[in-house]
Amino acid sequence: MHYWRFLDYWSEGNDRKNLIEEWYRNEGEELQAAFDTALNELAGTEDWRDLGWFKVLTGKHTGLCEIKIDIPENPVVPGRKPPATHYRPVGFIKREPGEFISGEFVLLLGCKKSGRSYEPPNAFDLALDLKRKFQEEGRGRIHAHSF
Amino acid sequence: MLTLSKIWNKLRNKKYRKAFVGAELKRGVPFQIRAMRKKLGWSQEKLALASGLTQGVISRAEDPNYGNLTFNTVLDIASGFDVAFIGRFVPFSELAKWVENLSEESVQVAAFEDEDRAAASVLGRIEPLGIREKAVAQTEEFKCGQYQPQMTGAASELVRSHAAS
């Protein structure tokens, strides 16, 4: 049973883009498989509130959520958390604020995290801008997650 | 979410196949541990106690990004839930079906005690009375396809083999 449905945001205009798909295609198979698996698990999880790998952002980026996906680097040392590359797909819940039990999640874009810096560096500002344009100005479209 | 056709198309890429198996193992086991614990209404502390582990180990075992879960820890947790854990090689079609139907509900597993109770309710009709005729009659029912224990899976097989012996 799937409790959640995922949607992809498409920007408007001549350069109509699905940024989350572009990010996905530009990364390797390790990230692609982990991302697909993570979305599948989220879809089958009714309540996301205490999932350690799903985070509701606060402060400057309130309204956005990130999915934490870490790809461990080899070699793995037994008993220790291995160093990893941190990926952060970003989006928002298409419901009233504070609702985390079933619903729809809009995927905006993805980024890579290293320490306190992100690649692209303005990923969260851009994501917030896309969300605002969509929700307040009706710019852009959302379609069922398709890749 | 991940439909069979979508998964299968992606699995045609060998590199993706390998990565997907890794992702399913590394993320899937933590997903199931959390889902089973939640269903039981257990805290991480309670599962830790049942498993002979610390809460910190359970927390890491439920973290799909931890990436270093050991078989020994999984076996201890299996013991805590009183269920089996089998690691085995399977065809991709089996993995794809598992993934397509994945949810918190689909990964629930009955504990041995629950299975045993179900088994005993059927086996008990034969054993305690010690009436040979009754056992023979029940075995005959089984052979004729009329004997239908109300259980599924391994417990059902256990009863069948007992009745047949």
Return the minimum-mean-pLDDT range out of A65-69, B16-20, B132-136: B132-136
pTM score of the predicted model: 0.84
Instruction: Give the H or E element holding residue A24.
Output: helix A19-26
Residue of A nearest to B5 (CA): A147
User: How much is the average pLDDT of A113-136?
Assistant: 92
pLDDT tens profile B27-66: 999 999 999 999 999 999 999 999 999 999 999 999 999 9
Q: Which tokens in the block code for residue B99?
A: 């993934």
**Tokens 């005729």 sit on residue:** B133
Q: Which residues contact A32 (CB under 8 A, 6 or more apart)?
A: A24, B10, B16, B19
Q: What is the pLDDT of residue B125?
A: 60
Considering only CB atoms, A2 lies closest to which of B22, B70, B103, namely B103
User: How much is the average pLDDT of B132-136?
Assistant: 56
Q: Do A2 and B1 touch (CB under 8 A)?
A: yes
Instruction: Give the H or E element holding residue A132.
Output: helix A123-137
pLDDT tens profile A17-60: 899 999 999 999 999 999 999 999 999 999 998 899 999 999 99
B43 and chain A: CB distance < 8 Å anywhere?
no
Q: Is the pLDDT of residue B138 over 80?
A: no
Q: Is the pLDDT of residue B116 over 60?
A: yes
pLDDT tens profile A68-83: 999 987 766 766 777 8
A74 or B101: which leads in pLDDT: B101
The chain-wide mean pLDDT, for chain A, equals 90
Q: What is the pLDDT of residue B149?
A: 46
B99 and chain A: CB distance < 8 Å anywhere?
yes
Q: Do A43 and B60 touch (CB under 8 A)?
A: no
Distance CA B144, CA B52 (A): 47
CB A87 within 8 A of CB A112: yes
Cα dihedral sign for A9, A26, A71, A129? negative
Distance from CA of A105 to the nearest CA of B (A): 12
Q: Do A81 and B28 touch (CB under 8 A)?
A: no
Q: What is the pLDDT of residue A116?
A: 83
Would you place residue A16 in the very low, low, confident or very high pLDDT band (cuts 50, 70, 90)? Answer: confident
Count of beta carbons in the 10 Å neighbourhood of residue A138: 9
The chain-wide mean pLDDT, for chain B, equals 85
